[in-house]
Chains A and B, each alone.
Chain A
Amino acid sequence: MAPAWTDKFIRYPTIVLAFCLLLVMVLSAGLGKLYFRGDYRIFFSEDNPQLLAFEQMQYEFNKSDNMLIGIAPRDRKIFTPERLELIRRYTEAAWQTPYSTRVDSITNYQHTEAVADDLLVADLVPAEQPLTAVEIARIQAVALNEPLLRNRLIAADGAVAAINITLQLPEQNQHQEVLDVWQAVTAISAQLQQEFPDVDFYHTGIIAMNYAFASEAEQDVKKLVPLMFLAILLVLGWLLRSVWASLATFVVIITSLLSTLGIAGWLGIFMSTATVNVPTILMTLAVADSVHIIASMQFALAKGYQKSAAVSYSLQRNLMPVLITSVTTAIGFLTLNFSEVPILRDLGNLTAIGVMLACLYSLVLLPILLLWLPMRPVTDARQHTVIQHLATWVIGRQQLLRWSFSGLVLLCLGLLTLNQINDEPNEYFAPATEFRQANDFMEQHLSGFTLIDFALDSGQPSGVNEPQFLSAVAAFSNWLLQQPEVMHVNTLTDIMKRLNKNMHQDDPAFYRLPESREEAAQYLLMYEMSLPFGLDLNHQLNIDKSATKLTATLYNLGSKELTNLESRAYQFIEQHYPQYQLAAASAGLMFAHIGERNMASMLKTLPLALILISVILIFSLGSLKLGLISLIPNLVPAIVGFGVWGLMIGEINLALSVVAGMSLGIIVDDTVHFLAKYKHARSEGLATERAVSYAFHSVGRALCITTLVLVCGFGVLIFSGFRLNSDMGLLTAMIILIALIVDLLFLPACLLHLDKDKDKSHVEETA
């Protein structure tokens, strides 16, 4: 059936070419609609429980998108006239940041002092006159003793300060808004950097993270895609020994790529940290189809076929394998649809679409190109003898291979348990990236990037004024401060205590919580009346004052530690204050939970994909036995890969949890090609050894080539600025390489045992 219509294509090349061109043009018209999105929310589906909790928190209290600028003099001295002036000027300039609603630093901190019956509220660092040593000492004493400032906007040792810009993005065009903010802030830093060359500036905060997600993704495209092209060009040219064959492959790759990204544009799928991998992965996968077709054609030419006959021969041989491997690869990528992470679903769907398009172009467009381009036969005696030796060696050492591989698999099954799920947004970035360096510096010298917001609800309007409730809040914040993970706690009770002291002529004995409901309410009224522009109590109290929010700043923690702290906090309230409701939320918590949720859903879909793929194999190979045997080379690579990963690194992030499904679809291809040829030989009456030997001969070279290309392709991802992508690339490349080894060593050894001929003498004869 196959030759009939594939030959037709070859007979009417112009029509087919016109069709392909039209298809590419229509699809790639969607490219204009492609855009980048970098905000961290792309990792979460709309019904993600942690996202919902986070949004609820933002409804109750103010939204808190921010940019945090670390100011680090090299001599570690903030409290000098020049540095305070620098911070004051930066603070002043930062008000001009687009979408900013508030700027906070030690210089514009509203310091309240009680002098006789007057409450003096003023900027801690006044603008007017040059500061004397006495004033600086006073400013230092106030700043380092104020819980609202210390370890938040000023390091306890006075070495590093920070400026916090609170922002309200309209969220019309988030990518552009983030870019505007980033550019405005870094421009201020660059300008002041010139004036103060001995001071370093660091940029972090939610906006910096969103910017980093988007800009690193763009970097990936700019850096990795050309690198990938280069790698493929070199590998193809070397392996196919033909510039023209490489060129034809390139046309297939480019058309597949343009069409797929065009479809992404038409579907409204945006480019993100995950979907930027589509071009790289797709290029790799598209190469595999072409290589098989070109290799067969070269083989036929070497046999003395005419060009069109050689193309026809190649299509005849490869139609089914290419189709099946494409479908299984697509199935592997489609398993990502069960991921909890929307952008990983996009990655899966786009790659699946792209793989099928690449299959189409390889079967339709490529043959025509091969007809037109000058092609010559390629025979490589050296490679053949290598493969011949390998086949003989495998057959001779089959016993040893079976035992050693079985042992390895058992060992790796044990090593699997060394893997721990961990998702931290900070760790998603490679240590060399600007965002990661800023974060690591700030964590070490001032304040961590990770935080958790806790909302404690009294259950009644104005309930926060109740002395019992306030003492619960104070107890909870004290408990939080005692936890080893916690750096700083921002709590209303600190403000209450300070107001009480202010109201009593700054008598330190009154640095305590108010004693009655009225007193608390009236202090809050006084506090509200003294708040500066852009600040209201809403970031700590909800509108009917039934609940208050505490913010705990944490050391950069792993997701296990973070969720652990969260549940301990729930336990504390449950145990000591069961009458109040606690809710915890933050971006960090969202990431901490997503890894586990994603892994759980991916583990559930893996068996499904495995069964589906096995069923396809059973039917296409026409053999239940071979279909079942195929489970071995399909499962072993992932087990060994993750086992080795557990030994080497031991940390699984959400990108890695999809590697098993994704790589399954790819490595099945090798199995299909090998088993198809083996089956063909067996059906022609060859004995097991002979059939194995035949399979080695006919696909050994192609398998090595495609594996090399795939390993290069995923290997390129290692250079990504994202650990999500570099880890995924590294592990997938590892698994694909292991799959080749398994297909060439373990699979034949297993076939020799499990698909043994009944007639023993026959075996001995050939061995």
Chain B
Amino acid sequence: MLKKLLSVFWLSLLFIPAAAEETDLERGLAIATEQKNRDRGWGDSESNMLMVLRTAQGRESVRRMRTLALEVEGDGDKSLTIFDEPLDVRGSAFLTHSHPTVEDDQWLYLPSVRRTRRIASRNKSGPFMASEFAYEDMTSFELEKFRFRYLGDEKCGELTCFVLEQIPVDTFSGYSKIIAWIDQEHYRVQRAEYFDRKDALLKTLTVEDYRLYLDQYWRPHKLTMHNQQTGKSTDLILESINFRTGRTAADFDVAALERAR
């Protein structure tokens, strides 16, 4: 299907140059902008998450964490993740101030040594907590991070989806491109394919169990990232989420790390 789609896409490039090209880019950006706009204004949230890591042979390991998130207008969102399981790492906390165009700020607090360390790294392409999700998959969706291109429409399950190509602007991204299927009704990502820097398919993401919060915000309760090259996979399960719990920027400063329990 994708192949067919791509061949149609390449053919269209041949016959209708510049103008059509321009509209595909514009349309891509328009879809992404709508997607972003529909998700504005949620304020802050608290969620309980379960992460299931799976080897190619199906052996599993489970991690539990709580995540506090704060929407920041005009900058990237802030998030604080507190680890509950495995027990040996309970109380460890990870703070991220994400930024659309410059490096994210990251701090890690380790309770056993009672120390906080800022981790200065360009390592956004690295795995998040040994999972198949990378940091860049976990941080907030910002328009400035990608160049978009509309590739066409396609059925995705019951729904009809826009197929959107996202090319990371940052050269430190681990991806050459991401192809996302976004449903036309609510602009929610239904699935995505991640291509590595040699343009080979690296991972596929499937997103399930969307639920509506505050009558406006859709949140998926299950994300599955499957590494096509190693056969490993990770399930990210949202067990519960509460919005507008009254968190402020003060709950996301470095000092808050050590208070977090």
List A residues at the B interface (Cβ < 8 Å): 59, 62, 95-101, 110, 114, 117-122, 168, 461-462, 465, 503, 514, 516-523, 525-526, 528-538, 542-545
Chain B residues with CB below 8 A from A465, complex form: 88
The 8 A CB mask of B63-98 against A (1 = contact, 0 = none) is 000000000000000000001001011001010000
Are A119 and B118 closer than 8 Å at their CB atoms?
yes
Are A522 and B113 closer than 8 Å at their CB atoms?
yes
Most chain B beta carbons < 10 A, residue from A110, A168, A525: A525
Are A532 and B197 closer than 8 Å at their CB atoms?
no
Chain B residues with CB below 8 A from A514, complex form: 112
Which of B5-13, B15-23, B122-130, B204-212 forms part of the interface with chain A?
A: B122-130
With both chains docked as a complex, state the minimum distance between the C-beta of B213 and any C-beta of chain A, in angstroms.
29
Are B119 and A533 closer than 8 Å at their CB atoms?
no
Chain B residues with CB below 8 A from A528, complex form: 127, 129-130
The 8 A CB mask of B172-210 against A (1 = contact, 0 = none) is 001000000000000000000000011010000000000
Are B198 and A96 closer than 8 Å at their CB atoms?
yes
Are A525 and B197 closer than 8 Å at their CB atoms?
no
Chain B residues with CB below 8 A from A119, complex form: 117-120
With both chains docked as a complex, state the minimum distance between the C-beta of B109 and any C-beta of chain A, in angstroms.
9
Question: Is B59 among interface residues, defined by CB-CB distance under 8 A?
Answer: yes
With both chains docked as a complex, state the minimum distance between the C-beta of B84 and any C-beta of chain A, in angstroms.
13
Chain A residues with CB below 8 A from B56, complex form: 59
Q: Give A461 to B112 CA distance when docked, in angstroms.
A: 20
28 examples of A-B residue contacts, CB within 8 angstroms: A98-B198, A117-B117, A119-B118, A121-B123, A122-B120, A122-B122, A168-B230, A465-B88, A503-B113, A519-B112, A522-B89, A522-B110, A522-B111, A522-B112, A525-B110, A526-B119, A528-B129, A529-B128, A529-B129, A530-B123, A531-B127, A531-B130, A533-B123, A533-B126, A533-B127, A538-B232, A544-B59, A544-B61
Most chain B beta carbons < 10 A, residue from A99, A110, A528, A533: A533
Chain A residues with CB below 8 A from B128, complex form: 529
Question: Is B160 among interface residues, defined by CB-CB distance under 8 A?
Answer: no
In-complex Cβ contact of B112 among A110, A121, A518 (8 A) = A518
Are B121 and A530 closer than 8 Å at their CB atoms?
yes
Chain A residues with CB below 8 A from B197, complex form: 95-96
Chain B residues with CB below 8 A from A545, complex form: 61, 86
Most chain B beta carbons < 10 A, residue from A503, A529, A531, A543: A529
Question: Is B245 among interface residues, defined by CB-CB distance under 8 A?
Answer: no
With both chains docked as a complex, state the minimum distance between the C-beta of A175 and any C-beta of chain B, in angstroms.
19
Most chain A beta carbons < 10 A, residue from B53, B59, B112, B119: B112
Chain B residues with CB below 8 A from A517, complex form: 88
In-complex Cβ contact of A530 among B61, B92, B119 (8 A) = B119
With both chains docked as a complex, state the minimum distance between the C-beta of A38 and any C-beta of chain B, in angstroms.
22
Question: Is B57 among interface residues, defined by CB-CB distance under 8 A?
Answer: yes
Are B117 and A532 closer than 8 Å at their CB atoms?
no
Question: Is B116 among interface residues, defined by CB-CB distance under 8 A?
Answer: yes
Are B119 and A101 closer than 8 Å at their CB atoms?
no
A-B pair number, CB within 8 angstroms: 128
Question: Is B253 among interface residues, defined by CB-CB distance under 8 A?
Answer: no
9 smallest beta-carbon distances between A and B, as pairs: A521-B88, A533-B125, A121-B121, A518-B112, A522-B110, A519-B112, A533-B174, A118-B118, A543-B61
Q: Give A59 to B174 CA distance when docked, in angstroms.
A: 26
Chain B residues with CB below 8 A from A59, complex form: 55-57
Chain B residues with CB below 8 A from A462, complex form: 86, 88
Are A95 and B198 closer than 8 Å at their CB atoms?
yes
Question: Is B223 among interface residues, defined by CB-CB distance under 8 A?
Answer: no
Question: Is B239 among interface residues, defined by CB-CB distance under 8 A?
Answer: no
Chain A residues with CB below 8 A from B111, complex form: 518, 522
Q: Give A59 to B57 CA distance when docked, in angstroms.
A: 7
Question: Is B4 among interface residues, defined by CB-CB distance under 8 A?
Answer: no
Q: Give A538 to B126 CA distance when docked, in angstroms.
A: 14
Question: Is B3 among interface residues, defined by CB-CB distance under 8 A?
Answer: no
Chain B residues with CB below 8 A from A532, complex form: 123, 125-126
Chain A residues with CB below 8 A from B60, complex form: 543
Chain B residues with CB below 8 A from A122, complex form: 120-122
Q: Which residue of A lies closest to B60 (CB)?
A: A543
Extra 14 A-B pairs, beta carbons < 8 Å, given A96-B198, A519-B113: A97-B198, A99-B229, A117-B115, A117-B117, A118-B119, A121-B120, A514-B112, A518-B89, A518-B112, A525-B110, A531-B126, A532-B125, A533-B123, A545-B86
Q: Which residue of B lies closest to A500 (CB)?
A: B113
Are B88 and A529 closer than 8 Å at their CB atoms?
no
Are B89 and A118 closer than 8 Å at their CB atoms?
no
Chain A residues with CB below 8 A from B110, complex form: 503, 519, 522-523, 525-526
Chain A residues with CB below 8 A from B225, complex form: none
Question: Is B134 among interface residues, defined by CB-CB distance under 8 A?
Answer: yes
Question: Is B49 among interface residues, defined by CB-CB distance under 8 A?
Answer: no
Q: Which residue of A lies closest to B61 (CB)?
A: A543
Q: Give A287 to B130 CA distance when docked, in angstroms.
A: 64
Are A121 and B119 closer than 8 Å at their CB atoms?
yes
Chain A residues with CB below 8 A from B121, complex form: 120-122, 530
Q: Give A651 to B56 CA distance when docked, in angstroms.
A: 41
Beyond A121-B121, A122-B121, A543-B59, whether A533 also contacts B134 by CB under 8 A is: yes
Q: Give A520 to B112 CA distance when docked, in angstroms.
A: 9
Are B112 and A516 closer than 8 Å at their CB atoms?
yes
Q: Which residue of B lies closest to A96 (CB)?
A: B198
Most chain A beta carbons < 10 A, residue from B53, B89, B108: B89
Are A503 and B88 closer than 8 Å at their CB atoms?
no
Q: Give A101 to B200 CA distance when docked, in angstroms.
A: 10
Q: Give A461 to B88 CA distance when docked, in angstroms.
A: 11
Are B200 and A98 closer than 8 Å at their CB atoms?
yes
Q: Which residue of B lies closest to A94 (CB)?
A: B198
Are B94 and A529 closer than 8 Å at their CB atoms?
yes
In-complex Cβ contact of A101 among B117, B134, B230 (8 A) = B230
Q: Give A384 to B88 CA distance when docked, in angstroms.
A: 92
Q: Give A97 to B198 CA distance when docked, in angstroms.
A: 7
Q: Give A464 to B200 CA distance when docked, in angstroms.
A: 35
Q: Which residue of A lies closest to B57 (CB)?
A: A59
Most chain B beta carbons < 10 A, residue from A62, A101, A462, A536: A536
With both chains docked as a complex, state the minimum distance between the C-beta of B122 and any C-beta of chain A, in angstroms.
7
Chain B residues with CB below 8 A from A96, complex form: 197-198
Are A503 and B130 closer than 8 Å at their CB atoms?
no
Q: Give A755 to B56 CA distance when docked, in angstroms.
A: 70
Are A526 and B108 closer than 8 Å at their CB atoms?
yes
Q: Give A517 to B57 CA distance when docked, in angstroms.
A: 28
Are A168 and B229 closer than 8 Å at their CB atoms?
yes
Q: Give A534 to B175 CA distance when docked, in angstroms.
A: 12
Most chain A beta carbons < 10 A, residue from B106, B110, B119, B130: B130
Q: Give A534 to B126 CA distance when docked, in angstroms.
A: 7
Chain A residues with CB below 8 A from B134, complex form: 533
With both chains docked as a complex, state the minimum distance between the C-beta of B77 and any C-beta of chain A, in angstroms.
19
Q: Give A521 to B92 CA distance when docked, in angstroms.
A: 10
Q: Give A101 to B197 CA distance when docked, in angstroms.
A: 10
Q: Give A474 to B140 CA distance when docked, in angstroms.
A: 41
Beyond A503-B115, A544-B59, whether A522 also contacts B92 by CB under 8 A is: yes
Chain B residues with CB below 8 A from A461, complex form: 86
Q: Give A544 to B85 CA distance when docked, in angstroms.
A: 12
Q: Give A529 to B130 CA distance when docked, in angstroms.
A: 7
Chain A residues with CB below 8 A from B89, complex form: 518, 521-522, 525
Most chain B beta carbons < 10 A, residue from A121, A516, A518, A537: A518
Are B130 and A537 closer than 8 Å at their CB atoms?
yes
Chain B residues with CB below 8 A from A503, complex form: 110, 113, 115, 117
The 8 A CB mask of B128-141 against A (1 = contact, 0 = none) is 11100010000000
Are B229 and A101 closer than 8 Å at their CB atoms?
yes
Q: Give A120 to B56 CA distance when docked, in angstroms.
A: 33
Are A529 and B55 closer than 8 Å at their CB atoms?
no
Q: Give A462 to B53 CA distance when docked, in angstroms.
A: 14
Q: Give A110 to B113 CA distance when docked, in angstroms.
A: 23
Q: Give A503 to B134 CA distance when docked, in angstroms.
A: 24
The 8 A CB mask of B37-67 against A (1 = contact, 0 = none) is 0000000000000000101110111000000
With both chains docked as a complex, state the minimum distance between the C-beta of B212 and any C-beta of chain A, in angstroms.
33
Chain B residues with CB below 8 A from A521, complex form: 86, 88-89, 112
